[in-house]
Amino acid sequence: MVHIEEGPLFNYCYGVEKLEEVLKQAPDLKLVVHGPGWWRHISAEPGGEAYPKGLVKEEGLVHKLLRRFDNLYADISATSGLNALSRDREHARRFLEEFQDNVVYGTDFPCLSEEGQFGTDGSHLRLIKNLRLPSRVVRKVLRENAEKLLS
C-alpha cells in the first residue's frame, strides 16, 4: 500500500509518474495506491489542489497506469478517493466499470467523524449505491478484489 501526498503539509511518496518504472521493474509486485497525490491524477489536468473540483474532462495518468499494469490497484478510501469519484459521477461510473478488477475500497481510518457514525465511509457507500453499478462491480470493489489481493 502506497499513500501518495503532494503539498505544503505533506510531501512523501510523491511522483505518481515514477510508479510506471517501479511497476515495470517488479511485475510480480501487487501495488495498492491511494491518497490525494494519486487521485488528483484521475484527470489529465490535476491542478495544484489536493482535492480538485469539477468534471474530469480528459482521463489522466491513473487510467493510463491501470490499463497498462494488472498488478496495480487503486484504493478509493478516505476523502481523496471519495472526491475523485464524487466530483464527476458519470465518469465515476465508467471508471469503476472499466477498472472493476483493480479497484478496492478500504476504510482507511476509524468510521467516526462529525458526519456521524460512519463518516466518510458512509458517504462512500452511499455514492457507490447511487451510481447504480451492476452488482458484480459492487461486489468486486467492496470485497472480492481485496480477498484476491490478500490470498
> What tens digit of pLDDT does each residue of 45-56 get?
988 888 999 999
| Best CA proximity match to 74, nearest among 99, 55, 92, 56 | 99
Task: Tally the residues of the chain.
Answer: 151
Residue pointed to by grid coordinates 497506469: 65
Q: Where are the beta strands (DSSP E) in 68-117?
A: 72-75, 103-104
| Amino acid, res. 121 | D
DSSP H or E segment with residue 34:
strand 31-34
Tens digits of per-residue pLDDT, 105-115? 987 665 555 65
Look up the pTM and report it. Answer: 0.88
| Best CA proximity match to 57, nearest among 48, 65, 66, 47 | 47
Low-confidence ranges of the chain (pLDDT < 50): none
